[in-house]
Amino acid sequence: MRTRFTELLGIEHPVVQGGMMFVGRAPLAAAVSEAGGLGIITALTQPTPAELVREIEAARELTDKPFGVNLTILPSINPPPYEEYLDAIIESGVTILETAGANPEPFMPKLKDAGIRVVHKCTSVRHALKAERIGVDAVSIDGFECAGHPGEDDVTGLVLVPATADALSIPFIASGGFADGRGLAAALSLGAHGVNMGTRFMCTTESPIADGVKKAIVDATERDTELIFRPLRNTARVASNSISREVVQILADGGEFADVRDLVAGSRGKKVYEDGDLEAGIWTAGMVQGLIHDIVPAGEIVTRTVAEAENILRRLTATFSLDAEAHS
């Protein structure tokens, strides 16, 4: 299935495994890429740039097809050594970088010099246009349904995707709410050049999270998420559990970030993924979990999604052709 996005990155299918903290490791990324999609290793999951280099090498031992690395840049009191991670990515010969969080403009000259294609995650048309102006090669546009940070505009994919198609000249993929071929067919029909799936790839055999978490996602409905940090204008969509509900209540009652800092610590979320203790902390999941009903190999997700989308688009084309003939 060829689109402008697949042509740009040299991949077979317009299906991307999103960069997810504690999830985007070599076995998962390699499995997605080997099936013709684009797997992504999450840089900051690795404690040091040197360990990221080793993770990239591990992925190369599993596939000779293109894969990318995600680098999420966020302001913090003690930020990771972003420049060192970026240098590790460049020196490892990675050719595709997914950036998220802050504006990647300060890094663009170095990335361009290294021949790296940049896919920047955005949550609004205005941010996508800014990304295009600073020279990114493609955009991943996140609708309100997505896991993680959906921005503050609350625009769903059904509006955001065609609005982005109207505004951008560079390729873009749709993110948030995609789990199968129906979503891919819809995204292509709305003007996107592919889809990014995060929560769907959490429920795969190569996903490194605990089986209990995968089962919880399969058992959940589209209503089983919480939007935390809304009063702080830093909204994040996470799975609904006692911790996330407590965070919502504290902030709704006038609390500040300091009042929930310990509840939302990344170390607690990591414990959820590693131990399967669903109440140990907050962990991300999208509304799309209501469409996920099995745990299968990541490569099967890619091939199944593409086959379903092709069948849907072929059937619709045939239906409209028959309708046209009947009325001619």
User: What is the structure's pLDDT at 327?
Assistant: 62
Judge if 57 and 193 occupy the same domain.
Answer: yes
In single-letter form, the type of residue at position 70 comes to: N
Judge if 47 and 169 occupy the same domain.
Answer: yes
User: What is the structure's pLDDT at 323?
Assistant: 65
Q: For residue 320, is it within any domain? A: no
Among 140, 174, 205, the domain-final residue is 205
Contacts of 308 by beta carbon, 8 Å cutoff, 6+ apart? 180, 181, 182, 184, 185
Find the farthest-apart pair of alpha carbons in the chain and give their distance in angstroms, rounded. Answer: 68
User: What is the structure's pLDDT at 92?
Assistant: 97
Judge if 90 and 170 occupy the same domain.
Answer: yes
Range of the domain at 252: 225-284
Low-confidence spans in the chain with pLDDT less than 50: none
Judge if 196 and 232 occupy the same domain.
Answer: no
Q: For residue 216, is it within any domain? A: no
Number of domains in the chain: 2
Judge if 95 and 234 occupy the same domain.
Answer: no
Judge if 58 and 164 occupy the same domain.
Answer: yes
Are 217 and 285 contacting, i.e. CB atoms less than 8 angstroms apart? yes
Q: pTM for this structure?
A: 0.95
Judge if 75 and 18 occupy the same domain.
Answer: yes
Among 284, 301, 319, the domain-final residue is 284
| Cα 313 to Cα 189: distance, rounded to the nearest angstrom | 9
> What's the CATH code of the domain at 156?
3.20.20.70
Judge if 148 and 266 occupy the same domain.
Answer: no
Judge if 236 and 197 occupy the same domain.
Answer: no
User: What is the structure's pLDDT at 321?
Assistant: 66
Measured in degrees and rounded to the nearest 5, phi and psi for residue 157 equal: -60, -30
| Cα 118 to Cα 136: distance, rounded to the nearest angstrom | 5
Judge if 88 and 123 occupy the same domain.
Answer: yes
